[in-house]
Amino acid sequence: MLWPMRRTTYCGKVSEENIGQRVVLEGWVNRRRDLGGLIFIDLRDREGILQVVINPGSVPFAEADRVRSEWVVRVEGTVRARPAEQANSRIATGKVEVVAEALQTLSEARTLPFQIDAGWRGEDDQNVSEDVRLRQRVVDLRRKRLHQNLRLRHKFITAIYRFLDSEGFISVETPFLTRSTPEGARDFLVPSRLEPGSFYALPQSPQLFKQMLMVAGYDRYFQIARCFRDEDLRADRQPDFTQLDLEMSFVTQEDVLDLNERLAAYVVKETLGLEIPLPFPRLTYAQAMNRFGSDKPDLRFGLEFTDVTEVFKGGEFRAFASAQAVKALLVPANLPRKEIDALEAVAKSKGAAGLAWVKRENGALTGGIAKFIPPSLHQHLEIAEGQTALFVAGPWRRSVESLGAVRLELGKRLNLIESGYNFAWVIDFPLLDWDEDNQRWTYMHHPFTSPNLDDLEHLQSDPGRVRAYAYDLVLNGSEAGGGSIRIHRRDLQERMFAQLGIGAEEAQEKFGFLLEALSYGAPPHGGIAWGLDRWVANLAGEESIREVIAFPKNKEGKETLTGAPSTVDSDQLAMLGIAVKE
Ligand code: ASP
């Protein structure tokens, strides 16, 4: 035998064009079937599967008889057409097969903890719990779906590089071991061995480094950046995640939005071949909240709110009479009581006191709060026969957000969500947010975001009404990106710190390096970061970002494949001057 022959092509790439050619293939045995002496092996590699036929009495027959699923083998043979009636339209190579002349086992395999072959045959993969999948991630990663997702991710990232390079951006790396970079989350800390008692922080984002790069003259920076945030676990978060981070100098908000729209359209076209119309619609924060109850509204369906605060003001219905806001949602369906109860539970989970409702049945308003509805409601809200109106009243933010959650639930329940990629900008965010728990103003985006200069005069007197030059890119109701124009003047940055309750001394101690940089001549600048994992999940049609990350953490923040986090040797701790309390 003339081994070692080298691989001539990928299994999944063999087609009718190769009929009559000799090929050498290397890959995994996706499935082996023994049909009365004739052996079929579906050989798999990253490109797909290909049927290999081993005739009885042929040289490779004895070895083919021995191999099992997931063994790694090398096959030499000749490509031929399958008889038409045996063609398999579910796989790309379904019109051909390879008749083996030699077969060599490169490595044997134990039985897998779960089967991964079906997806490659165009069938549904075995249903396996995510726990098992993540613990056995190497096996799981063999599945076709994950191969596709990771390749989509690669396509997405290379498209970003192409586009931004053509627009004059340069990629610069920033450190992992650094000082705390506040983005509103807890830091992951790394103890210093050389300076016991001191800690590095892993960056929550490259924010301050990219700003300092702007001060240093590196206009148009980008980075596919890993970020680390020790946040409380939410369903779709990872403690370490990836951003497309970018920053530009001498720009206005318009410039940043324009560049990002074109980039978004480009990457969608490059990855999925879809045309995205430009420009993206824009909503102010106030509009988004008032109409859809979310600062990342899902605009794939309607169901906009109507403000009926004035209608009920001072009226008979006590719960609504003095509420800061009363918002109504007209539902084009006669919702049964059970559905309304379920929706009320959604509203309450977001802090609403309740979900009031009326319906029009047989011409009359019935049920719920029907007897409290003032006639003037109809000027604002036309409830037609068979429709249901839902109401939430209370403090403005809580009311709109809880009705917003009801709206999303209705979108799903009533099947209103259109497929496709729906982009929008939300702009004019407030600069500051009132922190109920600590009874103080805090930043909405981060402390380096520029106030809208038109509102600056209110910064002390009425902080809540100051808008920021901050913007979010929304895709199908999820936040695909967020950024801002930054403060580039030291005096304004100092004022901002003061407004946030960060005294001069603390500002100097924590952000002295930034303030100093700003005092050496800083250009106006601004940028954005995209949540890359969520972006790819959206493009891949996946619900969870864990499906587009090779080695994700589970919902508890653990990486069960290698077993992280784990305890470490006492020697290691001693070296760091650390003792763990029981
Ligand atoms: N650093 C910000 C973030 O991670 C993004 C930005 O303002 O550019 O959300």
Which residue of 223, 427, 445, 487 sits with most ligand 1 atoms within 8 Å of its CB, as the best mutation to test the pocket? 445
Mean pLDDT estimate for the chain = 95
Domain with CATH 2.40.50.140 in the chain: 11-121
As its CATH architecture, domain 301-417 has: 2-Layer Sandwich (3.30)
Q: Which atom of ligand 1 is nearest to the CA of 486?
A: 7
The helix (run of H) or strand (run of E) holding residue 349 is helix 337-349
SS3 string, 412-452, reads HHCCCCCCCCCEEEEECCECEEEECCCCEEEECCCCCECEC
Q: Which atom of ligand 1 is nearest to the CA of 247?
A: 8
Q: Could you give the count of Cα atoms lying within 13 Å of 304 in the half-sphere of its Cβ? A: 10
Among the listed ranges 127-141, 223-237, 339-353, which one has the minimum average pLDDT value? 223-237
Domain with CATH 3.30.1360.30 in the chain: 301-417
Ligand 1 centroid to 208 CA: how many Å?
Answer: 10
Which residue of 245, 473, 525 sits with most ligand 1 atoms within 8 Å of its CB, as the best mutation to test the pocket? 245
CATH topology of domain 148-282+424-570: BirA Bifunctional Protein; domain 2 (3.30.930)
Q: Which atom of ligand 1 is nearest to the CA of 206?
A: 1
What is the rounded average pLDDT of the residues 401-423?
96
Which residue of 183, 208, 212, 443 sits with most ligand 1 atoms within 8 Å of its CB, as the best mutation to test the pocket? 183
Question: Residue 2: what pLDDT?
Answer: 52
Please indicate whether residue 62 or residue 4 has the higher confidence score (pLDDT): 62
Q: Are strands 356-361 and 423-427 parallel, antiparallel or unpaired?
A: unpaired
Q: Which atom of ligand 1 is nearest to the CA of 449?
A: 7
Ligand 1 centroid to 449 CA: how many Å?
Answer: 10
Q: Select from 2.40.50.140, 1.10.10.10, 2.60.120.260, 3.40.630.10 the CATH code of 11-121.
A: 2.40.50.140
Cβ of 527 below 6 Å from ligand 1? yes
Question: Residue 438: what pLDDT?
Answer: 87
Distance from C-alpha of 333 to C-alpha of 489, rounded to nearest angstrom: 54
- Backbone dihedral region for residue 577 (phi beyond 0: left; psi -120 to 50: alpha; all else: beta): left
Ligand 1 centroid to 501 CA: how many Å?
Answer: 21
- CB atoms under 10 Å from CB of 412, counted, come to 11
The helix (run of H) or strand (run of E) holding residue 573 is helix 570-576
pLDDT digits over 231-276, tens only?
877 768 899 999 999 999 999 999 999 999 999 999 999 999 999 9
Question: Residue 45: what pLDDT?
Answer: 98
Domain with CATH 3.30.930.10 in the chain: 148-282+424-570
Judge whether residue 19 has pLDDT over 80.
Answer: yes
* Six-digit token string for 293: 């109850």
Ligand 1 centroid to 414 CA: how many Å?
Answer: 35
Cβ of 482 below 6 Å from ligand 1? yes
pLDDT digits over 138-191, tens only?
999 999 999 999 999 999 999 999 999 999 999 999 999 998 777 788 999 999
Ligand 1 centroid to 204 CA: how many Å?
Answer: 9
Distance from C-alpha of 404 to C-alpha of 426, rounded to nearest angstrom: 16
Question: Residue 435: what pLDDT?
Answer: 87
Find, among 359, 320, 317, 360, the residue nearest to 339 by Cα.
359
Protein residue whose Cα sits closest to atom 3 of ligand 1: 529
Judge whether residue 24 has pLDDT over 90.
Answer: yes
Share of the chain above pLDDT 70, in %: 99
- Backbone dihedral region for residue 267 (phi beyond 0: left; psi -120 to 50: alpha; all else: beta): alpha
Which stretches of 36-152 are assigned E, i.e. beta strand? 38-45, 48-54, 72-81, 96-107
Find, among 41, 40, 10, the residue nearest to 25 by Cα.
10
What is the rounded average pLDDT of the residues 548-554?
97
Question: Residue 537: what pLDDT?
Answer: 96
Whole-structure pTM value: 0.94
Protein residue whose Cα sits closest to atom 1 of ligand 1: 207
Judge whether residue 4 has pLDDT over 70.
Answer: no
pLDDT digits over 451-489, tens only?
999 999 999 999 999 999 999 999 999 999 999 999 999
Cβ of 499 below 6 Å from ligand 1? no
Question: Residue 111: what pLDDT?
Answer: 96
What is the rounded average pLDDT of the residues 94-119?
97
Question: Residue 64: what pLDDT?
Answer: 96
Cβ of 388 below 6 Å from ligand 1? no
Name the CA dihedral angle for 218, 222, 224, 229, rounded to a multiple of 10 degrees: 80
Ligand 1 centroid to 318 CA: how many Å?
Answer: 43
Cβ of 528 below 6 Å from ligand 1? yes
